[in-house]
Amino acid sequence: MASVRWTPVHQAWWRLAYRRVVLSSFRTVPLYREKWALAGRTEPVLVLGRYGESDGAIHVTEATRRLADLVPLAGGTEHPDPQRGACNVLAMDGGGAREVLHDPALGDLGTRRDCGAWHLDWPRVYARETKAGPAFTLLRQSSPRFVDILIDEPVGKRVVQCRSHGTPAVTR
């Protein structure tokens, strides 16, 4: 994974994977159905200026208070897996001691590399900028479903493609 070059194909896949999760969550996950409907959002695919409150993001504190409502209608566990992504993140960047971006509910989201930016574990994690900070979405998850979640870690505000490493990162 360290040697993967970020190309327009990756970029397109990443956005598409996120849209799929948003669409599916809008249809099947109670908390998002409720939040997005209350915000007047009828179009689940993100449209600029039509995100609803907090730019459509939910803080992790609220999400974890309502884990039962993060279970898709088809069923699933309401217990988050804090080890989620751990193996993957450690394999990023060829291993070695790096700071890991970890959230107690979402698991490992990325690592800080020598450029200083927090590199996302992009095959599993999507992030987009909101006025409240980066909102994270787990792309390979079934239940509980985390979509557009704000976390407590102060990792920066901007989601960029790192100029040194090419892949998506969060920076100040």
- Binding site residues, Zn ion, CB under 5 A: 113, 115, 117, 162, 164-165
C-beta closer to Zn ion: residue 21 or 155: 155
- Rounded to the nearest 10°, the torsion over CA 67, 79, 54, 56 is -90
In the complex, the smallest distance separating the C-beta of residue 97 from Zn ion, rounded to whole angstroms, is 17
In the complex, the smallest distance separating the C-beta of residue 114 from Zn ion, rounded to whole angstroms, is 7
With b for 16 or more beta-carbon neighbours within 10 A and e for fewer, the 26-47 pattern comes to beebbbbbebbeeeebeebebe
Q: Which stretches of 37-99 are assigned E, i.e. beta strand?
A: 58-59
C-beta closer to Zn ion: residue 22 or 120: 120
In the complex, the smallest distance separating the C-beta of residue 21 from Zn ion, rounded to whole angstroms, is 25
C-beta closer to Zn ion: residue 53 or 153: 153
Q: Which amino acid, one-letter code, is at 60?
A: V
In the complex, the smallest distance separating the C-beta of residue 112 from Zn ion, rounded to whole angstroms, is 9
C-beta closer to Zn ion: residue 102 or 113: 113
C-beta closer to Zn ion: residue 40 or 94: 94
Distances (CA, A) of 56 to 10, 101, 113, 114: 24, 22, 29, 32
In the complex, the smallest distance separating the C-beta of residue 42 from Zn ion, rounded to whole angstroms, is 38
By the 8 A CB rule, do 94 and 113 touch?
Answer: no
Number of Cβ within a 10 Å radius of residue 154: 8
